[in-house]
Amino acid sequence: MSKNDFRFSMSLRVRWSECDAQGIVFNGAYQNYLEVAQAEYYRNLGIRLYGEISRKHFDTATVKITLEFIAPAKIDDVLTIHCRVDRIGNTSMDVVYEIFMGGTDDLVHRAEVVQVNYNADSESARRVPDGLRTIIETFESTGVVRPLADFPDLRGLMLS
């Protein structure tokens, strides 16, 4: 995948606590990076992921994750995380992440994550809301962020 295939990216600096005894980013830290990028992706769309009201509409559960470690990152490296929703099914979404050394085309890490919209009350998958589907598909195809106010069924997801 090319960087141009991603509409969203964010940067972060590697912290000492994320590195192992070898001085490189510990493998488990990458999942935290993905979580941060996911939250920022949705925040960019005006969507609050975390909170009691939000969870009544959209609450993701990771059901599959594939991680590829391509090159090491070290303390104080600035990483750029690219994120895109590649597919939206009835209840699930495929999300692709690529992490580059900041300001370069040097790929450090790649991840593919399958997430399900989860209903904690019934402990089961539920349909991705149609309005959310429209917002994400519009963003991924055009880069345009549709206002949540256009989707009354998603008001509980709006950032305040």
Distances in Å between the Cα of 59 and the Cα atoms of 97, 99, 100, 116, 132 are 19, 24, 28, 8, 12
Q: By C-alpha distance, which of 33, 28, 3, 19 is closest to 73? A: 19
Place of tokens 């055009």: 142
CA distance linking residue 86 with residue 98, whole number of Å: 13
pLDDT the model gives residue 52:
57
pTM for this predicted structure: 0.92
The stretch 7-33 carries a mean pLDDT of 96
Can you give the pLDDT at residue 21? 92
- 154 and 130 in contact (C-beta within 8 Å)? no
Lowest mean pLDDT among 7-11, 30-34, 139-143, 151-155: 151-155
**pLDDT on residue 148:** 85
Instruction: Give the domain ranges of the chain.
Output: 3-145
Name the CATH architecture for the domain at 3-145.
Roll (3.10)
The H or E element containing residue 99 is strand 92-101
159: confidence class by pLDDT, cuts 50, 70, 90 = low
CA–CA dist 146, 142 (Å, integer): 11
Give the range with max mean pLDDT: 9-13, 51-55, 144-148. Answer: 9-13
CB contact at 8 A, 85 and 93: yes
Pairwise CA distance, residues 119 & 122, whole Å: 6
What does the alpha-carbon distance between residue 54 and residue 116 come to, in Å, rounded to a whole number? 15
